[in-house]
A and B are shown apart, each in its own frame.
Chain A
Amino acid sequence: MREAVLFFFIVVAGTAGELCVSRAMKGIGEVHDFRPKSILSFVLQSLRLPWMWLGIALMSLGFFSLLAILSFQQVSFVVPVSALSYAAGAFGAKAFLGESVSRNRWIGIAVVCLGVTLVWWSSR
């Protein structure tokens, strides 16, 4: 049960955090200039966006959940299972960012889920 809750945070909060950051980034627009000064101003600009802060908070929650689960579970179990974030990412990107997800991508995600199921069984 404790594992399920922590995986939920790793996968859902981690992915939701990335989606928030992605939304903030899309708000700023594409970066063409890679000089240090422009990158710094880009970072400062992004820190003014609430989506960025929400994203950082959610990603931190995901990271600390990862540390917590690693305190009692094997790395070779935790990291492969966290590949479920590909599924969460596709659902989130569709619902939240309005991206369309191709059929091939759904097939890949189904295969990932099958692999995660096998890894999950391997620890039972």
Chain B
Amino acid sequence: MTHTRRLQLKTIPLIVVSIILGPLGNVFLGKAMKRIGPLPSERILDLLPIAPRVLMSSYIWLGVACLLGFFIVHMLLLTWADYSYVQPATSLSYASVTMLSYLILGEAISPLRWLGVAVICLGVFVVGRTSPSTTGAAKRA
């Protein structure tokens, strides 16, 4: 097995995990906050009584755990794979967050929103394919 092939074998599954874990975290945060209901926005002090309910919500912690897991997987990936390889692939997370919102939260997604999400994925893909370091530090290394 070539070196490149071996790298792909461990990189691609982890990219898939990160594309699911990050959006799943946001979906759980969304589920938690919908249960708590719209936050009062008149005075900052009105938010204080709500803080314990946010901290006691199991979905909040599930969401935070997913986001933390995503962060660790992302960091791991970046220790061996190039940022310009990982970042375009993770642009798909905008598609997966939309899909998971539909499947788990039952959000209605209009065709216009799908189109917008597809355009965002394309844009993030293009952003990621540009050079990851321009300040010279990495070029010297």
Q: Which residues of A contact B (CB under 8 A)?
A: 2, 26, 30, 34, 66-68, 70-72, 74-80, 83, 86, 90, 97-102, 104-105, 107-123
Contact = CB atoms under 8 A, between A and B. Distances in A.
Contact of B123 (A74, A102, A115): A115
A108 B97 contact: no
A18 to B, nearest CB: 12
B101 A75 contact: yes
A77 to B, nearest CB: 7
Contacts of A109: 123, 127
Chain B interface residue count: which class? 35 or more
B34 A70 contact: yes
B136 to A, nearest CB: 10
B117 A80 contact: yes
Nearest to B128: A108
Given A67-B60, A70-B34, A112-B127, 11 more contacts: A70-B29, A75-B105, A76-B109, A79-B94, A80-B97, A83-B123, A98-B135, A108-B127, A110-B123, A112-B120, A118-B113
B125 A75 contact: no
Given A76-B113, A122-B110, A115 B118 contact: yes
B23 to A, nearest CB: 7
B130 A104 contact: yes
B116 A112 contact: no
B115 A118 contact: yes
B78 to A, nearest CB: 11
Contacts of A98: 135
Nearest to A71: B33
Contact of B116 (A80, A90, A101, A104): A80
Nearest to A5: B41
A70 B38 CA distance: 8
